[in-house]
Amino acid sequence: MLRKLEEKELDKYIDMMYELACDFTKSSYPTYNDGVETKETFVLGSKKAFMQDDAEILLFCDEDKVLGWIHYYFIADDNYLATASMQASNKFDLMLAEFEQYVVDNYPNYDIWLGFSSQNIIAINYVEAQGYKQHGHLQHTMLHLDDYEFIEENKHASTLTMDEYEAFGLLHDSVNSDEMYWNSERIKNNFDKWNILTYKKDAELLGAIYCVNKTISEIFGVDFTDDTYNDEVFEALLVGIANRCKENGTKYLCYFCENNQLDTVKKLGFSHIDEYKGYVKKGRNENV
């Protein structure tokens, strides 16, 4: 059974939920088991659910016992729904089944976006059996920038300016699916928040990398011309974004990389955290 968590109950369950959130086998992404996120950020994030109209925490109970919770949020204009935290000590598949029905009943036509560690076998088996489409199978890595020393940059890598944005936008949208939330239009509308580097050779745009300026920042993606991976371009962009993030005061740089990028990522000092799998189930009648 799912029921809405009341704010006065938060302190009663917060320790239990944080402990579960630090266990890859019993939780979803975003993870609190990366050595960076803290209990303080978990508590603050949970409290925000009671201050927002677009978020809620549901307790998962079975036989009158609280086993877990689902902290979800949504973007109404985009029919988008995802989790800020989801964890359970037991019966994770039952919790997912009840949550899916809850979304159908309360948010018809919304797309459900979920992510799990490959270690959460129960969750992965459930969503794959229910027809969720996998949209990412990636390696979760982290760079501690306090320990990172600047590396000389490739002359072909440079920070993107708004005057150059059109070329970046065309590249970005051409190699990413329509399902990607951060399309070129949304990035452009929030340009000042983004750190974007491009790689050009003989005036030809060959690649780009992008992340948001934050204390804990995540590389949202790396784009290549014709969607063809190039290790030289990738390494140059990765060095550039790491340097720029350190200059801007970022403490941790997270990247969910492809398997063929992992050796280069680790060579630059990123540590390997986990294997991530992302899934989406469309709420509308459309092919995915």
Same structural domain for residues 186 and 78?
A: no
On whether both 176 and 122 belong to a single domain, the answer is no
Q: How far apart are CA 256 and CA 246, in angstroms?
A: 19
> Is residue 144 in a domain?
no
pLDDT over threshold 90, residue 287: no
- How many domains does the chain contain in total? 2
The answer to whether the beta carbons of residues 59 and 13 sit under 8 Å apart is yes
Residue 286 domain-assigned (yes or no): no
Q: pLDDT by residue (tens digit) across 142-156?
A: 999 999 999 999 999
**Do 180 and 242 belong to one domain?**
yes
Say if residue 92 is in the same domain as residue 161.
no
Are 75 and 41 members of one domain?
A: yes
Give the up-direction half-sphere exposure of residue 261: CA atoms within 13 A in the CB hemisphere: 25
The rounded distance, in Å, linking the Cα atoms of 115 and 242 is: 25
95 and 160 in a single domain? The answer is no
155 and 246 housed in the same domain: yes
Domain-embedded: residue 288: no
Banded pLDDT at 288 (limits 50, 70, 90)? very low
Amino acid at 61: C
> What does the pLDDT look like over 2-33, one tens digit per residue?
999 999 999 999 999 999 999 999 999 999 99
Amino acid at 126: Y
21 assigned to some structural domain: yes
pLDDT at residue number 182: 86
Any domain includes 87: yes
Q: Which residue has the tokens 């204390």?
A: 215
Q: Where are the beta strands (DSSP E) in 76-159?
A: 80-88, 111-117, 133-144, 157-159
Average pLDDT value for the chain: 94
Q: What is the CATH number of the domain that holds 257?
A: 3.40.630.30
Q: What are the C-alpha distances in Å from 128 to residues 14, 73, 107, 122, 124? A: 30, 22, 21, 10, 6
Residue 191's domain spans which residues? 149-268
Is residue 31 in a domain? yes
Residue 188 lies in a domain: yes
Q: Give the per-residue pLDDT at 284.
A: 64
Do 6 and 126 belong together in one domain?
yes
**One domain for residues 168 and 99:** no
Say whether both 31 and 85 belong to one domain: yes
pTM of the model as a whole: 0.89
pLDDT in tens, 222-257: 999 999 999 999 999 999 999 999 999 999 999 999
- Same domain? 127 vs 234: no
Instruction: Give the tens place of pLDDT for each residue, 175-208.
Output: 987 767 789 999 999 999 999 999 999 989 999 9
Mean pLDDT, residues 61-87 taken together: 96
> Which residue, chain included where needed, has tokens 């020393």?
149
Q: What is the mean pLDDT of residues 113-123?
A: 98
User: Do both 189 and 95 map to the same domain?
Assistant: no
